[in-house]
Amino acid sequence: MDCDRIDSILESYGYDHSAIISIMQDVQGIENYIPEEALRYISEKMELNLARIFDIATFYKAFSLEPRGRHTIKLCCGTACHLGGAAQNLDQLKRTLRIEEGGTTEDRLFSLETVNCLGTCALAPVVVVEEDYYDSVKPGSLGKILSTYSSDSED
């Protein structure tokens, strides 16, 4: 946990309690998740109730208390995608990445999530990586999709 960076975030918001969500978003931006110790640190520094901060962190889906990958893969398992072969795509991703749904690869490059419908059923089965939509995905095309992100350099 980088206390100096958290301190500068807190200072930039003037320790304003009403900015707690923005503060937590910025802290999450440091490592792409908020370690529990960071929540405790924010609580102490801002003199804010720790339970209140935990409530916020667990209520909003945008926050993660677990390490997440740099790239989030969302695989749609809605009806149209299911009929198009989403289950096979999910199996392939789990095998390739060696993680389960909700998991993150050891190198923290990818996290894998399933969703119920992305609203693009005509393109089923659909996989989204970050903001990039991939349509009519087959298990054989997943390797190429992943390789696009595997070669990314660190920010």
Binding positions for ligand FES, rule: CB under 6 A? 76, 78-81, 117-121, 124, 126
Q: Between residues 28 and 125, which has the closer beta carbon with respect to ligand FES?
A: 125
Whole-number minimum distance, CB 112 to ligand FES, in Å? Answer: 16
Whole-number minimum distance, CB 26 to ligand FES, in Å? Answer: 32
Determine the length of the chain. Answer: 155
Q: Nearest residue to ligand FES, using CB? A: 78
HSE-up (13 A, CA, CB side) for residue 100: 0
Residue of 102, 85, 69, 74 whose CA lies nearest to 138: 85
Per DSSP, the residues of 85-144 read THHHHHHHHHHHHT--TT-B-TTSSEEEEEES--S-GGG-S-EEETTEEE-S--GGGHHH
Q: Between residues 8 and 79, which has the closer beta carbon with respect to ligand FES?
A: 79
Amino acid at 16: D
Whole-number minimum distance, CB 118 to ligand FES, in Å? Answer: 4
Q: Between residues 1 and 77, which has the closer beta carbon with respect to ligand FES?
A: 77
Whole-number minimum distance, CB 124 to ligand FES, in Å? Answer: 5
Q: Between residues 133 and 149, which has the closer beta carbon with respect to ligand FES?
A: 133
Distance CA 45, CA 42 (A): 5
